[in-house]
Amino acid sequence: MEQVMRDFFLFLSKNKSMTRVAKQYGLRFGAGRFVAGETIEKAVKVIKDLNDRNLKVTIDYLGEFVDNEEEANYMADNSIEAIRAIGREKLDSQLSLKMTSMGLDISDDVVMKNMRRILKAAKENNVFVTIDMEDFARCQKTLDIFKTLKSEYDNVGTVLQAYLYRVADDIEDLKDYKPNLRLVKGAYKEPANVAFPLKKDVDDNFKKIIKMHLLNGNYTAIATHDDAIIDYTIDFVKENNIPNNLFEFQMLYGIRVERQEELSKAGYTMRVYVPYGTDWYGYFMRRLAERPANVAFIAKSMFRK
């Protein structure tokens, strides 16, 4: 049943009509648990609160289904606005973004132009930028663009997904770039010919790539809410004398808040992924797909006065 619900929410996440309706009605029905607000001003307040609790942040202006240059430029403008707010308010925050929102599906010229002006603004404000990984169809193109940008800027990283068969080869291919990588399990529905269908295999591969990247001596962000993966990482770094400044844990805003603070108090770098903006629907559906138990929380929120 859980797999059926997961597939259902992943299907909904790609529904453009529902995305338009969600934009119209705003952050209702529980989405505010996972999204910091619709404006950068609201997001800044959330970031300040997290920073006050010794939690670092990466902020993401949400956007999907960008299919024209004007909208891609608008999305890039909002990312630059977020970067400048981080610098102006002296926030302990990075920036995350999806390249489809910057024009990846439109043309190489559009996405590269937007990425370069974002990274230029980020460098001026001492902000690190992570390029989120999307579905398998865009994986290779994303990595090719990352390599080009990494040769021009030192303040950019990307994401690799443990459920893909190819990911260990990608770790090996990227190691000479000395990349800062966020390692995740993966949240898109992919066919069995490109991704592990069983959770155990994904978990085993996740541990494998954490080990590979850390032993390569490159900065590793382990993005997970899974205690088994967290405990594996803690044991591994202790056994191999890997310093705490070579890795961090990342979790999503609104999920496992107490665990986030526990890790921070234990001396580990803990970064919270904080999304904001009006285009929250697809992100919200994927959070429900990852943990269908969240549906009960949403149902209560819908009927609460």
Please report where in the chains the tokens 């994401």 appear, as a residue: 159
What are the b/e assignments for 142-157, b being 16+ CB within 10 Å?
bbebbeebbeebebbb
Q: Is 239 exposed, middle or buried (0-12, 13-18, 19+ CB in 10 A)?
A: exposed
Sequence-distant (≥ 6) Cβ neighbours of residue 260 within 8 angstroms: 55, 251, 270, 272
- The answer to whether the beta carbons of residues 136 and 190 sit under 8 Å apart is yes
CA dist 37 and 130 (Å) reads 21
Amino acid in position 107: S
53 given a catalytic annotation: no
CA dist 140 and 147 (Å) reads 11
- The answer to whether the beta carbons of residues 89 and 124 sit under 8 Å apart is no
- Show the CA angle centred on residue 91, arms to residues 89 and 96, nearest 5°: 115
Q: Any bridge partners for residue 271, and if so which? A: 56, 250
Per DSSP, 176 falls in state: G
Q: Which of 132, 170, 203, 279 is catalytic?
A: 132
3-state secondary structure 254-283: CCCHHHHHHHHHCCCCEEEEEEECCCCHHH
77 given a catalytic annotation: no
Q: Which of 182, 271, 286, 287 is catalytic?
A: 182
CA dist 143 and 289 (Å) reads 26
Q: How far from 15 is each of 8, 155, 218, CA to CA, in Å?
A: 11, 34, 38
Enzyme catalytic residues: 132, 182
